[in-house]
Amino acid sequence: MEKKEKLWGGRFSESTDSFVEEFTESVSFDKNLAVYDILGSIAHAKMLGEKGIIPKEDAEKIVKGLNQIKEEILQDRFEWKKELEDVHMNIEKALIEKIGSIGGKLHTGRSRNDQVVTAFKLYIKEETQNLINLLTQLKVSLLNKAQETVDIVMPAYTHLQRAQPIRLAHYFLAYLEMFNRDKERFQDSLKRINQLPLGSGAVAGVDFPIDREFVAKELGFNEVMRNSLDATASRDYIIEFLSNCAICMSNLSRISEDLIIWNSTEFGFVELPDKLTTGSSIMPQKKNPDVLELIRGKTGRVYGDLVAVLTIVKGLPTAYNRDLQEDKEPVFDAVKTLTGSIIGMTKIIQGLKPIKEKMEQSAGGFALATDLANYLVRKGIPFREAHHIVGKIVSYLVEKDRELESITLEELKQFSPKFDTDVLNLLSIYNVADARSSFGGTAKERVLEQIEFWKRRLNLS
Ligand code: ARG
């Protein structure tokens, strides 16, 4: 059988088993990195020319050839070959076919081990920036919704039991804070992504007089990685990226869960726009919050992506091992999933209609009990005692199947002589919410301050 030509075929006397080709290839998915691989190669070739490691004319031919290949790839005219293993060798082989043996000079002073990390870092850098932009849009949608809902009061739940009344805007601002931290995490990670691995060779550095600063500048990296072993072995930048994705998904999943519950007939707190929901093939009455359910479900995938890469690196001997090829698909999956989930959530927030009456009905009643206890505290009764007195009031009303708002001053006085006419103010959910005027609290003035803060931060004022 004729031996198929591999770029690394020199020392081999028989062709690769087709099973092995199929099992070891990565081009079917790492072709996603093609444009970044070419960017890295162009910077490397220019540097080789500048430093006289290869003739300048050769470097120019290489750059021209690479740019043509990039166009072919972008226009989907490029033929990917699995037998060429990965994106790097597909492109290098195409270059040699295009410009002849000069193309073979590109790989001087470089290894796929530093090449692949460079391309992947360029990709993750761009996707990180995309995610930052999408998170900003989500934040804007939450801020807008908060502005619309300052005057809606709803129950906050602890243990999924009605706890205390809050302004609905307070809820949206809580998620604005969470997604802002998610965005900051992505921003902070750029510092580490912006360190150039190229120029580290296979593991120990390069025996040509290369100029890594030049390459870093060409590619927009702020620093050069200081240790070649670290640069080729480490994948913590990937784990950090996936952790950031996983944390962000956890927040998306949690807000999804709230909205799914609120959208149920039993709660009836919100209505989702028709265009963002789906019907049931069998039950005509249903309008399902599938986007939210899928965000919640897909959170599991992204956690899986993170755990996959953590597990891949855990037992690896230090330096490059082929196992590391498995770092790609989890990242592609996480990028696709998180991108879609943020876009979906932004649409949901924009289209969400709160049902004020339902929320306010539920915000009253026993959710006001803490305030009644605090009232007694202000009148000099120790908190534990006040808590006990209000507990008695609650059980008295529960027995009679009555809401807290229905209680009269006379009845209250039977439980404690400290109750006076001003206690009746407490039976308004607005007053109760506005009493929580500590910094970070749900009082209207505090909520409005936070809205102003975010308008300034998001440059919307
Ligand atoms: N496709 C490989 C990967 O993704 C590229 C690096 C291959 N290096 C090697 N020495 N075989 O990890």
DSSP result, 69-114: HHHHHHTT-----GGG-SHHHHHHHHHHHHHGGGGGGTTTT--HHH
Q: Which of 46, 77, 108 is the last residue of a domain?
A: 108
Give the residue among 297, 331, 349 at the shortest CA–CA distance from 179: 349
Q: Is the dihedral of CA 185, 188, 190, 192 positive or negative?
A: negative
CATH of the domain at 379: 1.10.40.30
Q: Which of 330, 345, 361 is the last residue of a domain?
A: 361
Q: Which atom of ligand 1 is nearest to the CA of 120?
A: 4
Residues 59 and 178 in one domain: no
Q: Return the number of other C-beta atoms located less than 10 Å from residue 204's C-beta.
A: 12
- How many angstroms is it from 37 CA to the middle of ligand 1? 13
Select from 26, 31, 112 the residue to mutate for testing ligand 1; criterion: most ligand atoms less than 8 Å from CB: 112
Residue type, 294: L
Q: Residue 445's domain spans which residues?
A: 366-457
CATH of the domain at 138: 1.20.200.10
Strands 287-288 and 223-224: unpaired
Protein residue with least CA distance to atom 11, ligand 1: 322
Protein residue with least CA distance to atom 4, ligand 1: 325
pLDDT tens for the chain, 461 residues long, are 456 678 888 888 888 899 999 999 999 999 999 999 999 999 999 999 999 999 999 999 999 999 999 999 999 999 999 999 999 999 999 999 999 999 999 999 999 999 999 999 999 999 999 999 999 999 999 999 999 999 999 999 999 999 899 999 999 999 999 999 999 999 999 999 999 999 999 999 999 999 999 999 999 999 999 999 999 999 999 999 999 999 999 999 999 999 999 999 999 999 999 899 888 777 777 789 999 999 999 999 999 999 999 999 999 999 999 999 999 999 999 999 999 999 999 999 999 999 999 999 999 887 788 889 999 999 999 999 999 999 999 999 999 999 888 899 999 999 999 999 999 888 789 998 999 999 999 999 999 999 999 999 998 86
Token pair recorded at residue 139? 């934040």
Query: Which helix (H) or strand (E) covers residue 167, if one does?
Result: strand 161-167
Check 18, 28, 264, 280 and give the catalytic one: 280
Q: Return the number of other C-beta atoms located less than 10 Å from residue 215's C-beta.
A: 22
Whether 14 maps to a domain, the answer reads: no
Residues 74 and 139 in one domain: no
Phi, psi of 277 (to 5 degrees): -125, 170
pLDDT at 1: 43
Residues 270 and 401 in one domain: no
In angstroms, rounded to a whole number, what is the distance separating the alpha carbons of residues 218 and 44? 9
Token pair recorded at residue 219? 């590619």
What is the pTM for the complete model shown?
0.93
162 pairs with which residues across the strands?
A: 157
Residues 390 and 427 in one domain: yes
